Structure 1
Amino acid sequence: MTVGGTMGQRVVRVALVAGVVVLALLLLLATCGGGSEGEKGKKPEPSSKPAKKSAAAGPATRLAVPSAYASKQGWQITNVSPDYAIAPSAGRVGYLERVSATRFRLRTVDAASGRRAWAGDAWQPLSDPAYFPRLLAVAKDGREHFVAWSYGKVGEDALTSADMIVALDVYDVETGAQRRVELPWPDAPSVNGAGPGILVSDGGAESAVVDPVTGRVTHTAASDLRYPKGCGDCRVQTQVRAVTEKGLLVSGRREFWVRGGWHSRKTAPAGTDAASGVPTSVTDGRILARWQKKRAAKGAADYDVWAVHDTTTGKVLAKTECRKPAIEPGTHPQAAVAPEGRYLVAGSLGFDLETATGHCFEEADGTKPLSLTMVTDTGLAYGTTTTNTPVEADLTTSRPTALLPNVHIPTAEVAGTALFPWTDRKDRPHLLAYARRG
C-alpha cells in the first residue's frame, strides 16, 4: 500500500506539473497573438514609446501654446527624428525611430489620438548612422506615401562616384507596404515630394523622378528639358524644381515652364513684365513666384508682385505686392499650405486662394517684421518677427498679433491637431500634439 500510494502521488504530481506547463504555453500563445495585422510575424525590437497618454488624458508635457489649441488634449513622443511627415487625407503622422546604433524604423501614429498605426521594417541607411535619415511625404492619384531616404556609397570598398546611390524606402500610408528603390547618383542629391512623384536632382538641370506607386525611375537630361522658344534666360541657371501633373517644372534665371506644358510668359499676372517670373517655392500643387511690375506701372521701382500659380495650368490663383528688399535674399521663404488647401503663407506673405486675395505683412517703410511658417484651415497663420517674437496672423482680417515670448508656435496641423517639436533640457527631441479648441 505504501509503494502503491507513493506511485499514485507521483502520477498525480506529474500530471499537475504537465497541466501547469500546458496552461503556461497557452497563455504565452494568447499573449503573442494579440498584435496588429501589420506587425504579425515581426520580432519585437527596441523602440521609442508611443504617445504617453490618450487624447482625453492629455500629454505629459504641456507647453505654452496659442489660444487656439488645448494643451490638455493631445499626445507626445520622445526621441524622434528631426524630420516628420504628415498625410492630411489619412490623418497620420510618420516619424523615424532609432532601433540600434545603425538601424532605424519608420513608425506612424493617428494624428488625432496619437495611437500607433503600422511600423516598417528596420533598416540601415547609407549615410552616417549617427544622424537620422531624411523623411518626406508625397501623394499621387489620391494615395499618400511616406519616404525615408539616404545617400552614400555601395559597399565598404566604394572608390568612385559611380558607387554612390540614393536609397529610398517608400511606404504606403494606409497599408504600410514598403518598397525599396536604389538610384545611382554621383553627387549629393536634392530630394523633394512637392508633386505626384519623388524628384531627385543635382540642384540644377539633371534629374530623375521616382513613381511612389510603382517604383519606376524616369531620368531626364538637361538636353531634354524642352526650353521655350525665344527664352535665352531659360538656359541660364536652369533648375528642375518639382514634379507636376503635367510634367517637370523647370526654371531659368528668369521665366519658368512645365516641360511640354505651359510657359510662365503666357500666364504672367496682369501688370507685370511677362519675362520676369522667378519661382521661389513649390508645394502641394502651388507655385509661389515673384514678378517685376511693368516699367511704366505705378510703383514699379519700389514694388514686386508675388503670385500663387496652379502647377497644372500656370493660372494665377492670388497675388499681392510687397516692397522690394534692400538686399536680395540668398534664399526665399518656403511656402506652406493649409491642410484643405485654401490658404498659403510664405514669410511675410499670406494668401486666400478661395477669394483670390493676398496680403503682405510689412511696415510702411518696407521692412518685413513677420515670417509666417504655417497656416490652418481657419486662416490663422503662425510665425515669428525679426526679433523672434512668436506671432499669430488672421488671414481673414489681415491682422497680426504678437504672442507672449514663451509661446511655442505649431509647425503643422493635421486632423484638427497641431504639431509642436520641442527639445528638453537633456537635448532629447520630442514631438507634441495638441488638439484645436472647439
Structure 2
Amino acid sequence: MRQRIVRLTLVGGVLVLALLLLTATCRGGGSATGGDDGPGKPARRSAGPATRLDVPPEYTTGRGWEVVGAGPDYAVSHTTGRLAYLVEAPGHRYRLRTLDTATGRAGWSGEAWRPPDASDFPKLLTVAKDDRQFFVAWSYGKTGDGPAPEGTLVSLDVYDVTDGERRRVEVPWTGAPTVTATGPGVLISDGRANSAVVDPVSGEVSEIAASAVAYPKGCTACKQLTEVRGQTAKGLLLSGVREFWVRGGWFSRRTAPKGADPASGVPTSVAPGLILAKWKLAEGAKRAGTHQLWAVHDAVSGKPVVSVECHAPAMEPGRHPRAVVPPSGGYLVAGNLAFDLEAKKGFCFEEEDGSARLTFASVTDGGTAYGATTARDADEALEGDGTGPVTMSFTTWSVEALPPNTRLPEMETSGVGVFRWTDRKDRLHLLGYPRVG
C-alpha cells in the first residue's frame, strides 16, 4: 500500500501545498466487521436487520442491512449509492468504512488513523468537484503533545468515493471552526468573515481573510455582521445584517423575488446548488405586517426558483430552518416550508394564528416528506421520541399522521431509507430499510 504525506501552510491570500504529509490509498476488499479494528458489526442482509423499528409503511423491516457501533455521523454518495461511516480502532484511532446502500455489502475500508482530537469521533461530509465525489472526515484539535501544544488545526482526511484513495490536509486554525461542503470545495469558517477553502482534488487551500472581503456597491447593511454562509460554484456566499452576495458574482438586491423588499434578504440555510432566504414583503403589500416571503434561490445565478408567503417562523440563520433536499434535488423542505422546485410551487404549513403546524426533517425523490408536529427542529423530529410523526405528499400537499412511535427516515438513497437508533448500551445503529412497491 502506497503512502504519501501532505502538510499545508497558510501563506497570505492563497494557502499553497507545502509538504506532502499523508496520502493513503485504500482499495476494495473492505469488511464491515469489527474484528480488532473496532466495534462495528457486519451489515446484516440475508435475514434482514436484527433491529426492527416502527417505520412508515412505505418501508419494509424484513429486508435491508444494519451496522452496530458506528460513529454519530455518516456520509452518502448518491451517484454511487455508497455510504461511509466511522468505527473506532485501537490506539485512539478511527477507520472509515463503506457499504453499498442497495445491498448492504461492504465496500472499501480505509486504514486507521488518529485525528488531532482523538477524544471524539470526527465528523463526515460529502463533497463533489469535477464529476468526482469525496468523503471527508474532519476534526479540530491541537498539534504536538504535552501541556504546550504547537498550535491548533483542522485536519481533513479526504477519500475518493470510488476507491478510497486518501489525502490528509491539515489547515492551521484558531477557534472553533464551522466546516461545510455546499460547493465544489470544503469550506472552513470562523462563524464570521474569515474562511479557507480546501480543493478536494488537489488538496490546495485558499484563504480568504475578512480584510479581503469585497462588498457590493451601496450596501451598507452588508458591512454589518458580515458572515461567510457557504460556498457556491461561483464563489463564497456572504451576508450582512441584511442582503447577501456571492464574492465576485451576483448580489441579492438585483435578484430579489417578485413582491419582496429588495434590500431585506437574509439567507437562512444553504444546500448544494440552492439557497433558502427570508425576505420582507414590499412596502404596501397586503400582508406586509404579518407575513414574510421565503424563497429558494439558484446558487449559481442568485435568481429565485420558487417562493411562498408565511408568518415569521422561528429562525436561526445557518441552523434553522435547515434546508433538506433529496438526491435528485427536485424538492426542498425546511421547517414548516415545502417547495416543489420543478413545478415551482411552495406551501407554508401553519395555523391561522401563524404558529407552525409541523417541522419537516427529510424528503425523498418520489415526493414524500417526513416530519413531526411538535418538533422544534429537524433533529428533534428524527430523534423518534413519539411526538406526532407525519408524512406529506407533494402530489396532494396533504399531511397524514403516522403511528406515535414511528421512526422517520433521515434520507433515502438507492430506494433504501436510512434510519438511526441508539440502543440501551448507547450503541448507535445505522439501518437501511428498502422502500416497498
Distance 1:186 1:328, change over 3 A: closer
The corresponding residue for 1:334 is 322
> What is the DSSP-based 3-state SS (H/G/I as helix, E as strand, rest coil) of the residue aligned with 2:56?
coil
> What is the DSSP-based 3-state SS (H/G/I as helix, E as strand, rest coil) of the residue aligned with 2:258?
coil
Amino acid at match of 2:48: G
> What is the DSSP-based 3-state SS (H/G/I as helix, E as strand, rest coil) of the residue aligned with 2:425?
coil
Provide the rounded CA distance (Å) in 1 between the counterparts of 2:321 and 2:123. 20
102, 114, 117: which one aligns with 1:124: 114
> What is the DSSP-based 3-state SS (H/G/I as helix, E as strand, rest coil) of the residue aligned with 2:61?
strand
1:368 counterpart = 2:368: no
* Contact 1:137/1:147 (<8 A) preserved: yes
The corresponding residue for 1:3 is none
CA deviation string 1:31-64 (max 9, x = no partner): xxxx975569xxx84234454422x531111111
The corresponding residue for 1:275 is 263
The corresponding residue for 2:380 is none
The 5-angstrom pairing of residues 26-37 of structure 1 reads 37=28
The corresponding residue for 1:53 is 44
Distance 1:221 1:36, change over 3 A: closer
CA deviation string 1:159-214 (max 9, x = no partner): 47x71111100001011000000000011111011111100010110000000111
Provide the rounded CA distance (Å) in 1 between the counterparts of 2:99 and 2:38. 14
1:165 counterpart = 2:153: yes
Given the two structures, how large is their TM-score scaled by the length of structure 2?
0.87
The corresponding residue for 1:136 is 125
Provide the rounded CA distance (Å) in 2 between the counterparts of 1:64 and 1:332. 27
Provide the rounded CA distance (Å) in 2 between the counterparts of 1:124 and 1:363. 50
Amino acid at match of 1:336: V
The corresponding residue for 1:401 is 400
Shift of 1:73: 1.6
Provide the rounded CA distance (Å) in 2 between the counterparts of 1:134 and 1:329. 22
Provide the rounded CA distance (Å) in 1 between the counterparts of 2:72 and 2:348. 30
* Contact 1:342/1:353 (<8 A) preserved: yes
Distance 1:73 1:198, change over 3 A: same
Amino acid at match of 1:125: P
> What is the DSSP-based 3-state SS (H/G/I as helix, E as strand, rest coil) of the residue aligned with 2:421?
strand
Amino acid at match of 2:287: G
The 5-angstrom pairing of residues 156-305 of structure 1 reads 156-157=145-146, 159=148, 163-305=151-293
CA deviation string 1:131-185 (max 9, x = no partner): 211111111122111111111111114647x711111000010110000000000
The corresponding residue for 1:21 is none
Shift of 1:428: 1.3
Given the two structures, how large is their TM-score scaled by the length of structure 1?
0.87
Provide the rounded CA distance (Å) in 2 between the counterparts of 1:50 and 1:145. 24
* Contact 2:275/2:297 (<8 A) preserved: yes
Shift of 1:373: 1.1
Shift of 1:391: 1.0
Provide the rounded CA distance (Å) in 2 between the counterparts of 1:71 and 1:210. 40
Amino acid at match of 1:112: A
Shift of 1:94: 0.5
> What is the DSSP-based 3-state SS (H/G/I as helix, E as strand, rest coil) of the residue aligned with 1:195?
coil
Distance 1:328 1:96, change over 3 A: closer
Shift of 1:102: 0.6
340, 347, 358: which one aligns with 1:359: 347
* Identical positions, percent: 52
Provide the rounded CA distance (Å) in 2 between the counterparts of 1:143 and 1:399. 38
Provide the rounded CA distance (Å) in 2 between the counterparts of 1:142 and 1:158. 44
* Contact 2:28/2:163 (<8 A) preserved: no
* Contact 2:265/2:278 (<8 A) preserved: yes
The corresponding residue for 1:99 is 89
> What is the DSSP-based 3-state SS (H/G/I as helix, E as strand, rest coil) of the residue aligned with 2:221?
helix
Provide the rounded CA distance (Å) in 2 between the counterparts of 1:164 and 1:49. 30
The 5-angstrom pairing of residues 383-398 of structure 1 reads 383-386=371-374, 388-398=387-397
Provide the rounded CA distance (Å) in 2 between the counterparts of 1:74 and 1:115. 10
* Contact 2:359/2:371 (<8 A) preserved: yes
Distance 1:411 1:292, change over 3 A: same
Provide the rounded CA distance (Å) in 1 between the counterparts of 2:224 and 2:316. 19
Amino acid at match of 1:115: R
CA deviation string 1:254-279 (max 9, x = no partner): 01100111000011000100010000
Provide the rounded CA distance (Å) in 2 between the counterparts of 1:116 and 1:244. 33
Provide the rounded CA distance (Å) in 1 between the counterparts of 2:269 and 2:397. 22
Amino acid at match of 1:84: Y
Shift of 1:398: 1.2
Amino acid at match of 1:47: G
Provide the rounded CA distance (Å) in 2 between the counterparts of 1:324 and 1:150. 35
Provide the rounded CA distance (Å) in 2 between the counterparts of 1:47 and 1:174. 23
Shift of 1:396: 2.1
The corresponding residue for 1:433 is 432
Provide the rounded CA distance (Å) in 2 between the counterparts of 1:288 and 1:393. 20
Shift of 1:329: 5.1
Amino acid at match of 2:223: R
* Contact 1:48/1:77 (<8 A) preserved: no
* Contact 2:338/2:346 (<8 A) preserved: yes
Provide the rounded CA distance (Å) in 1 between the counterparts of 2:140 and 2:342. 40
Amino acid at match of 1:340: S
Provide the rounded CA distance (Å) in 2 between the counterparts of 1:315 and 1:146. 30
1:350 counterpart = 2:349: no
Richer in helix (by share): 1
Amino acid at match of 1:96: L
1:113 counterpart = 2:70: no
142, 147, 151: which one aligns with 2:140: 151
Provide the rounded CA distance (Å) in 1 between the counterparts of 2:320 and 2:364. 21
* Contact 2:28/2:109 (<8 A) preserved: no
1:380 counterpart = 2:368: yes
* Contact 2:139/2:155 (<8 A) preserved: yes
